[in-house]
Amino acid sequence: MPQAKVNTGFAFEDAGVALMARVEGWNGVNIVQSDLSAIQYCVTNKNTGATVIASTSLTISSVVFNTLQTPAVWQTDATGYNFRHNVPAAAFPSGDEVTPVIYRVEYKLTFASGEPVFLVWDIEALPIYMS
């Protein structure tokens, strides 16, 4: 299992973003759907501490793949990802060029054993002037 890491990225305000990762279990093997019993996520505005999206359960089969995916949108490596969630536009309601607005997107993946693993992204929302 990799050590704690905060991924970073950008999104336009009022627009969603797809977050992808390759997740391994404690044994170093890529996870599959049956390894997990639950997935939850939430979004917080790091600047203010305000909850943007409260803890929400996700359907495991909708965000975890049993085989690694390698579409063109995945540009990290040739190996692929097994976790993808499309975070809705409501998660990034405002952006600012002067004082960057950072949103923390946290996922709690709970293994069948009860052991949790966390995936975390800090996403800077870039302003859109036509919104």
DSSP letter for 79, please.
Answer: S
Cα–Cα distance between 94 and 26 in angstroms, integer? 37
- Token pair belonging to 105: 């997107």
The amino acid that residue 107 corresponds to is Y
Cα–Cα distance between 121 and 24 in angstroms, integer? 17
Query: Smallest Cα–Cα separation from 111: which of 56, 60, 55, 42?
Result: 60
Q: What is the pLDDT of residues 48-77, one digit of tens each?
A: 999 999 999 999 999 999 999 999 999 999
Tell me what pLDDT residue 26 has: 83
Q: Which residue has the higher pLDDT, 38 or 26?
A: 38
CATH numeric code, 6-126: 2.60.40
Tell me what pLDDT residue 2 has: 55
Q: Which residue has the higher pLDDT, 25 or 36?
A: 36
Tell me what pLDDT residue 4 has: 83
Mean pLDDT score across all residues of the chain: 95
Cα–Cα distance between 71 and 18 in angstroms, integer? 13
Tell me what pLDDT residue 103 has: 98
DSSP letter for 61, please.
Answer: H
Tell me what pLDDT residue 27 has: 87
> Quick check: 79 pLDDT over 70?
yes
**Span 22-37, average pLDDT:** 94
CB 126 within 8 Å of CB 88: no
Q: What pTM was estimated for this model as a whole?
A: 0.94
Residue 45 phi, psi dihedral angles, 5° rounding: -80, 110
